[in-house]
Amino acid sequence: MKFLLFNLIILLVSSEVSGQVVYDLNGCIRTGLEKNFSLLIVKNSETIAKNNFTLGNAGFLPSLNVNGRHSGSINDITRNQTDGSQTLSNGERNTTTSAGLAMDLTIFNGFSVQTTYKKLNELKQIGELSTQLAVENLVADIISGYYNYIEQTMLLKNLLYAVVLSKERLRIDEDRYLLGSSSKLQVLQSRVYLNADSSRLSRQFEVVRAAQIRLNELLALEDLSQKFTTTDTSINVNPELLFEKLLEETLTKNTSLLIATKNKMISEYDYKLIASRSYPYLNASSGYNYSINTFSSSSTKNQLTNGLSYGLTLGVNIFDGLNQRRNIRNSSIDVKNKELKYMEIEQGVRADLITLYSAYSNYLRLITLENQNLQTATENLDIAMERYKLGSLSGIDLREVQKSLLDARESLLSVEYQAKLAEISLLLISGKIMEYYQ
């Protein structure tokens, strides 16, 4: 009987998944990293930060401008001489054509150029870390979605098994009724149980379908309705994670902490940039100018001018309404805030790690207990089915034994999935989530 029930479950599940594509965890992660829209947006932001990290953007390089201009005028001119005579000139046309090349260079500006360059480098690294954080979160979501589908599929098989058991019970009761050893009430009650199990099975098909669509969404597939199966058919939890090692790696590799460190450095650079305004500044400029003027009524037909120009500008801000002092004070407070923010994030990360590891350890213990419960419930069902066939066990008692077995399987699957989520979260917080992707 067990063999027949098992084959029937396999047949039902196989008919449901036949012709579908097969996903494996590495393939899902690879597809998600290539196509996920949110990740692509973060990568574009990283590219912008990289593009901004240049010597020219920091102010090391000179600026060079070329300009040209042509202008003219047409005038009617009346000239009154001192002897009382008057001359008229209509349509006098004058033109001016000029071109120039100008270069400006900051020689010294209170070390602000060097500080800006360092700040741009930190911003570039924050862009890289933000992409890394987005990658880690996406990988964690994909792994969670992948194993959620496995859990829901295993729950589906559990409910299929429940339907098979209920059908077998209904068959037994119908045979007994035909032989006159059972009542019509018992047959009707068995049919009610079968309908209830079938209803739960139907709802579980929808849950599995939703899990498929969610995973396809994370992978940014064009066909979100694509059905699939997975190479993994069970949830395996790594039982060898050690708290001390996780804590050490969290404090050195956690991406949120690394970003907080960079933000603290940027606030220090902002303070230096504000302080640099108190220093003198020295700018150099040079250029080449060319111009030609033409005159329609003059003893000079045209005038050509060309030559070099150069200059140095030295200045210092003496008084600006005490704004410099105010900005320095505010920037100093911002530096302290960034330090406090880092301490807050570190404390939160430590708390999350302790909480997650406690849950992880507890789930590992629960897995052992639930496996024992499942083994016991399986043995109870075997005994109960034999007693029911012999008529020494009531239908209500058999239903309770069946329900105990189904609940034991569901409880084990739930604990295994929760343990897997805790494992994923621990690896995510300690910066080791990419170990899943090989």
Confidence tier at 298 by pLDDT (50, 70, 90): low
Give the pLDDT of residue 3: 45
For residues 93 and 361, the model is more confident at: 361
* Residue with tokens 């450095």, as numbered in its chain: 265
What's the average model confidence in pLDDT over 324-351? 96
Amino acid sitting at position 276: S
Give the pLDDT of residue 205: 96
* C-alpha span between 209 and 382 (Å, rounded): 32
- Give just the sign of the alpha carbon dihedral 377, 383, 386, 389: negative
Mean pLDDT of the residues in the chain: 90
* C-alpha span between 435 and 438 (Å, rounded): 7
pLDDT, one tens digit per residue, over 103-153 is 999 999 989 999 999 999 999 999 999 999 999 999 999 999 999 999 999
Query: What Cα–Cα distance (Å) separates residue 224 from each residue in 50, 134, 180, 218, 219?
Result: 34, 22, 54, 10, 9
What's the average model confidence in pLDDT over 287-301? 81
Confidence check: pLDDT of 84 > 80: no
Give the pLDDT of residue 10: 52
- 161 backbone φψ class: left, alpha, beta (φ>0; ψ -120 to 50): alpha
Q: Where along the chain do its domains lie?
A: 2-35+110-280+316-436
What's the average model confidence in pLDDT over 425-435? 95
Nearest-5° Cα angle at 150, 136 to 192: 145
Confidence check: pLDDT of 426 > 80: yes
For the ranges 103-112, 322-331, 376-385, 387-396, the lowest mean pLDDT is seen at: 387-396
* C-alpha span between 344 and 337 (Å, rounded): 10
pLDDT, one tens digit per residue, over 62-72 is 999 999 999 98
CATH number of 2-35+110-280+316-436: 1.20.1600.10
Query: With helix as H, strand as E and coil as C, how does the chain read?
Result: CHHHHHHHHHHHHHHHHCCCEEECHHHHHHHHHHHCHHHHHHHHHHHHHHHHCCHHHHCCCCEEEEEEEEEEEEEEEEEECCCCCEEEEEEEEEEEEEEEEEEEEEEEECCHHHHHHHHHHHHHHHHHHHHHHHHHHHHHHHHHHHHHHHHHHHHHHHHHHHHHHHHHHHHHHHHHHHHCCCCHHHHHHHHHHHHHHHHHHHHHHHHHHHHHHHHHHHCCCCCCCCCEEECCCCCCCCCCCCHHHHHHHHHHHCHHHHHHHHHHHHHHHHHHHHHHHHCCEEEEEEEEEEEEEEECCCCCCEEEEEEEEEEEEEECCCCCCCHHHHHHHHHHHHHHHHHHHHHHHHHHHHHHHHHHHHHHHHHHHHHHHHHHHHHHHHHHHHHHHHHHHHCCCCHHHHHHHHHHHHHHHHHHHHHHHHHHHHHHHHHHHCCCHHHHCC
What's the average model confidence in pLDDT over 414-430? 97
Pick from 306, 315, 219: nearest CA to 23: 219
* Residue with tokens 């994370």, as numbered in its chain: 218
pLDDT over 90 for what percent of the chain?
72
Confidence tier at 7 by pLDDT (50, 70, 90): low
For the ranges 24-28, 86-90, 238-242, 397-401, the lowest mean pLDDT is seen at: 86-90
Q: Considering the entire predicted model, what is its pTM? A: 0.86
What's the average model confidence in pLDDT over 307-318? 92
CB 22 within 8 A of CB 430: no
- 244 backbone φψ class: left, alpha, beta (φ>0; ψ -120 to 50): alpha
What's the average model confidence in pLDDT over 390-408? 87
What's the average model confidence in pLDDT over 370-386? 92
Rg (CA), the chain: 40
What's the average model confidence in pLDDT over 168-179? 86
Give the pLDDT of residue 93: 83
pLDDT over 70 for what percent of the chain?
95
CB 154 within 8 A of CB 83: no
Other C-beta atoms closer than 10 Å to the C-beta of 419 total: 24
Beta bridge partners of 105: 284
What's the average model confidence in pLDDT over 378-389? 89
For the ranges 187-196, 336-345, 392-401, the lowest mean pLDDT is seen at: 392-401
Q: Quick one: tokens of 58?
A: 């920091």
* C-alpha span between 108 and 370 (Å, rounded): 72
Confidence tier at 414 by pLDDT (50, 70, 90): very high
Give the pLDDT of residue 2: 47
Give the pLDDT of residue 16: 52
Nearest-5° Cα angle at 112, 255 to 278: 125
Confidence check: pLDDT of 429 > 60: yes
Pick from 29, 24, 434: nearest CA to 220: 29
Confidence check: pLDDT of 185 > 50: yes
